[in-house]
Amino acid sequence: MKYSRLSGQENRQYSISLLFNANKVYDRQVIEGIGHYLQSTKVDWDVYLEEDCLARLNNLDNWEVDGIIADFDDPHMQAALTDLDIPVIGVGGSYQCAADYPDVPYVATDNQAVVNCAYQHLKKKGLQRFAFYGLPPDKEHRWALERERAIVNLCEKDGFSCSVYRGYKTQPDTWQHSMNRLADWIESLPLPIGVIAVTDARARHLLQACDKNSRLVPDQVSIVGIDDDDIARNLSRVSLSSVSQGCFDMGFQAAKLLHRQLNRQITKKSPDQKSTPAPRVLVPPMGIIQRQSTDFKALQDTYVIQAMHYVRQHACRGIKVEQVINYVGISRSNLEQRFVQECGHSIHTEIHNEKLNRACKMLAETDSELAEIANSCGYPSIQYLYAVFKKHFGQTPKQYKRDILQS
């Protein structure tokens, strides 16, 4: 092969190839972590990011690189790169069976910990029914099966049942059929229930199916995704709670492993090295990002559940209590009494709290102008927004934002 050989000079420039699909949020965050390692150390790497990471695997003889970091969730990638005589670092998912790991230095997202993070979040909400929306089994999505096994085992350990639905691959010509079958599955689930989706993209399917079936999220169905994907999250009317994987750290750890391999000048395996297990790093999730899809409160009254759902969806559109009453369809005195008994405060207070929480979130997480925040949260003017913050926090919105950023 025409690989450039490694010299004994630690400060030489190395040619490194990254084999990832930059269209995936998971891969992009891994690449970002690799980049951070390059910026924070003195390594001198000439990094090449393949635009089509699978296109040149059949032409390895013409590659001239000193090291590779690659997505080993892809079985074709793993098969092509496992036995090379240059350092290769695999990045992918974890496995319950040790024999499933590749025989190269490997950095993995801890699938067991990722699923447990979502599961514990739902349990803390008081839920005792669980379900999992996965993927059809195939060699390219082995990590999906690992996550499915993880949630089933966790539920069995705690004495809970877990309904599993794998659904269909996402394809334009079968999309409507797939969504109808998903809606049928959602319809069959006992309520209330917590559902973990194998990815944020699949979680968005669940949100659409619940809307189709008039299943209230999160009051009847609480949904957690995995990836914390901005694209999937922003395409949904209900904001999605999601487990943030440690992809950035995975990239950093992968680059660190490759740096060590290059410094050790490992260009091929010797007989005594074959018996030494390749280094393996499991990276835990960063945690769960809680949003509206799991803002579950153990409400019992059907009318209060409907009212709460309507308030969550429309509070920032400037609705009044009368509109909530009309949506639920019972007398004002009846609903007000039920609402206070269940929630401890009035419908008006709930609308107010929803708007205020949205304003606080926008101040903390965005650079939006105050006029935009006031408009987005249903306040008639900036002056009104100022008055609300003065009353509740004793400070202006700008002072609130300053304190949040400094804390």
* Closest by CA position to 262, among listed 9, 2, 1, 3: 9
Tens of pLDDT along 325-369? Answer: 999 999 999 999 999 988 889 999 999 999 999 899 899 888 899
DSSP string, 329-363: TS-HHHHHHHHHHHHSS-HHHHHHHHHHHHHHHHH
Q: Which residues pair with 15 in a beta bridge?
A: 46
Q: What share of the chain is helix, strand, coil (3-state, %, to 5)?
A: 50, 15, 35
- pLDDT single digits (tens) 192-224: 999 999 999 999 999 999 999 989 999 899 999
d(CA 258, CA 245): 21
Residue with tokens 């944020």: 200
- Residue 106 gets which letter from DSSP? E
* Peptide bond connecting 192 to the previous residue in cis, omega within 30 degrees of 0: yes
Q: In order of start, what are the domains of the chain with their CATH numbers? A: 14-109+246-286 (3.40.50.2300), 111-244+289-294 (3.40.50.2300), 302-402 (1.10.10.60)
CA dist 23 and 31 (Å) reads 11
What is the layout of strands, in order, in the sheet containing 14-19? 45-49, 14-19, 67-71, 88-93, 106-109, 280-283
Q: What is the rounded average pLDDT for all residues in the chain?
A: 88
The predicted pLDDT at position 264 comes to 79
User: DSSP string of 270-302?
Assistant: -TTTTTSPPPEEEE---EEE--GGG-------H
Nearest to 103 by CA among 268, 279, 248, 336: 279
- Indicate the residue type of 84: L
To 5 degrees, how large is the angle CA 25–CA 151–CA 233?
30
**pLDDT tens readout for residues 55-99:** 567 666 677 889 999 999 989 889 888 888 899 999 999 999 999
Which candidate, 170, 93, 180, places its Cα nearest to that of 136? 170
pTM to 2 decimals? 0.77
Residue 115: per-residue pLDDT: 98
**Average pLDDT of the segment spanning 120-141:** 93
Question: Virtual CA dihedral for 310, 312, 317, 318, nearest 10 degrees?
Answer: 80
Measured distance CA(133)–CA(144) in Å, rounded = 10
Interval 367-392: pLDDT, tens? 899 999 999 999 999 999 999 999 99
Q: Is the pLDDT of residue 4 over 50?
A: no
Cα distance between residue 73 and residue 77, in whole Å: 8
> Is the pLDDT score of 144 beyond 70?
yes
Rounded to whole angstroms, the Cα distance separating 36 from 282 reads 19
**Alpha-carbon distances of 99 from 94, 95, 102, 103, 271, rounded to whole Å:** 11, 9, 8, 9, 20
Cβ–Cβ under 8 Å, residues 186 and 209: yes
